[in-house]
Structure 1
Amino acid sequence: MLPIVFEWHWDAGRMVFMGLLYFALGIISLGLLVAFLKTLLDIYTGAPTEEHH
């Protein structure tokens, strides 16, 4: 069930669920954005890379 479905009724349980869902998706997106920006920063500044074993 999604909020765009015609028979969706907003109640407290669904508001909490959707709030937590969007919060979790926001945290995941923020983590991916930080990793992407750090990668770009390392590429453009020529930061030395660590050797992996």
Structure 2
Amino acid sequence: MTSPTGEIYRIAWLPGTDVLHGTCHCGREHTSQDPIEMWEWMLAHPQGHESQGNTS
């Protein structure tokens, strides 16, 4: 998805699992089984983006 300001958000489903892997436009990554929680994390940028790498 691309936001109106041009940021790119990516969410990929990990085949064989119920896990979603998201990458924010800032480069931070996050995993979750809940698509709503994943979008809330992405759209809350920069809140929740304190730690580098995958979080669950």
- What TM-score, normalized to structure 1? 0.26
- What TM-score, normalized to structure 2? 0.25
> Comparing both chains, which one has the higher relative contact order based on Cα–Cα distances under 8 Å and sequence gaps of 6 or more?
2
Higher share of residues assigned helix: 1
